[in-house]
């Protein structure tokens, strides 16, 4: 009976060099794609977080300014294109000044500064003063009781302007609605 020689096939002996290189290339591609996917996910999360926080800050500022101007008596108020100063009707005549300082809107009350909101685009806070609803906007007033509405707007860019969020917020408020 003839003896058979058994030869092991090359695949049973282990991986060849080419197979190892192919596996390493495929593993590197999978790693590269998953790293890129993770980076995109984190960037998207940061953009969403920044825009949510910015929207909330903008809404809070709109609410506060609307409340203040609802009770505002223009007889003692002076305003420019970028700021307004008046005596608060809510607290017995406390001096109030609202203006922009850098990337914040400042609410100065009786000499103490409070940040109304931050993340505002530079020089974007603007006030407009109206004698009628459809009238021409004035850019400055000085104790004019004929002013019936104040319009204001500002552009929010968030805490990190490089993320690309930019949204303009504004409204018109009828002054001295509650007498």
pLDDT (tens digit per residue) in 103-156: 999 999 999 999 999 999 999 999 999 999 888 999 999 998 899 999 999 999
CA dist 95 to 36, 52, 76, 92, 128, Å? 54, 33, 10, 9, 20
CA dist 5 to 2, 8, Å? 9, 10
Pair 150, 172: CB distance under 8 Å = yes
> What backbone torsions phi and psi does residue 74 show, to the nearest 5 degrees?
-75, -10
The predicted pLDDT at position 125 comes to 95
What is the pTM (predicted TM-score) of this model?
A: 0.73
User: Rounded mean pLDDT of 95-100?
Assistant: 94
Residues linked to residue 98 through DSSP beta bridges, in sequence order: 84, 107
Q: What is the mean pLDDT of the chain?
A: 87
């Amino acid at each position: 009976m003839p003896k058979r020689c058994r030869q092991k096939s090359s695949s049973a002996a282990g991986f060849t060099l080419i197979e190892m290189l192919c596996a390493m290339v495929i593993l590197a591609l999978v790693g590269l794609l998953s790293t890129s996917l993770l980076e995109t996910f984190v960037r998207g999360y940061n953009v969403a977080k920044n825009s949510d926080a910015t929207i909330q800050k903008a809404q809070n500022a709109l609410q506060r300014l609307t409340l203040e101007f609802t009770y505002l008596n223009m007889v003692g108020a002076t305003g420019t294109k970028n700021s307004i100063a008046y005596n608060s009707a809510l607290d017995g005549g406390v001096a109030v000044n609202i203006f922009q300082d850098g990337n914040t809107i400042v609410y100065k009350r009786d000499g103490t500064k409070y940040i109304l909101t931050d993340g505002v685009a530079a020089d974007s806070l603007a006030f407009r003063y109206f004698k009628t609803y459809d009238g021409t906007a004035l850019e400055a007033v000085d104790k004019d009781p004929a002013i019936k509405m104040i319009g204001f707007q500002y552009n929010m860019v968030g805490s990190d302007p490089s993320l690309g969020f930019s949204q303009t917020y504004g409204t018109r408020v009828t002054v001295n609605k509650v007498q």
